Amino acid sequence: MNLDTVIFIVSAVVAVFGATMMIAQRNPVASVLYLILSLVAQAVCYVQLSALFLGAILVVVYAGAIMVLFLFVIMLLNLRGSEDLGQPPKALSRFTKYTIGILMTLELVFIIKGAPLKAMATGLIGKAPDGFGSVEQVARLMFTDYLYPFELTGVLLLIAVVGAVVVAKSRKPGDPEETQTEETAGTNTNEAGS
């Protein structure tokens, strides 16, 4: 058992542990922190697969930015885990839900085990070519072959920013905003705020 295998086993166990604790926790803040743990462990796997740039992006953007957004929302809503989570009527029992999830996982694992993949026939991954997964290589692809998808992603982000602001904007309840012009709606919002 060499160092690579040990690193993989440790990071895989940490990733699965973090994910399991995330769905088992009652307190949403703890859930977010466990998901960050799982993401960092997954970043280690990315680095092992010589995806250095994406490993860094995963930690910086995902664990750093998106999870902080989740924390912000949880703190904004002031959730404490004892939130109104009673026992309303459910369509499926808890046992059925676990069974569905476990069966699906086993199915995926068996498919992977039985798949006749060339890389798996040898069992091991060969040495990566020089500079594989580096910023330079990913950027070169992104700005040549994938230029249009990249530009569309920028448009998507712009739409998402506008959409998030529109959706989360505070309005006066029962305000018939559709029938008003932009200007009067703005005045009403200001009045409601004061």
Partner 1 sequence: MVPISAYLILAAVLFGIGTVGVLISRNVIVMFMSIELMLNAANMVLIAFSRALSIADGHVIVFLVLTVAAAEAAVGLGLIIMIYRNRATINIDRFSLLKW
In the region spanning residues 16 to 75, those forming contacts with partner 1, defined by CB under 8 A, are 16, 19-20, 22-23, 25, 28, 31-32, 35, 38-39, 42, 45-46, 48-51, 53-54, 57-58, 61-62, 65-66, 69-70, 73-74
- Cβ atoms within 10 Å of 188's Cβ, excluding its own: 16
Among 10, 64, 75, 120, binds partner 1 (CB under 8 A): 120
**CB–CB of 86/70 below 8 Å?**
no
Q: How far is the CB of 179 from partner 1 (least distance, A)?
A: 20
Q: Which of 82, 116, 119, 191 binds partner 1 (CB under 8 A)?
A: 119
Q: Which of 12, 185, 188, 189 binds partner 1 (CB under 8 A)?
A: 12
Among 4, 75, 151, 172, binds partner 1 (CB under 8 A): 4
Contacts to partner 1 from residues 167-186, by CB under 8 A: 167-168, 170
C-alpha distance from residue 61 to each of 68, 116, 190 (Å): 10, 35, 34
Nearer to partner 1, 116 or 182 (CB): 116
**Closer of 73 and 192 to partner 1 (Cβ):** 73
Tokens 């569905």, residue located: 100
CA pair distance 148, 154, nearest whole angstrom: 10
CB 69 within 8 A of CB 34: no
* Side chain identity, residue 173: P
In this structure, the number of other CB atoms found within 10 A of the CB of residue 183 comes to 8
Residue 133: both structure tokens together? 């997964």
Which position among 64, 75, 83, 175 is part of the footprint of partner 1 (CB under 8 A)?
83
CA–chain centroid gap for 149, Å, is 20
User: How many CA atoms lie less than 13 Å away from 63 in the CB half-sphere?
Assistant: 20
Site for partner 1 in 132-171 (CB under 8 A): 132-133, 137-138, 141-142, 145-146, 149-150, 153, 156-157, 159-161, 163-165, 167-168, 170
Interacting residue with partner 1 among 75, 109, 151, 175 (CB under 8 A): 109
Residues, the chain: 194
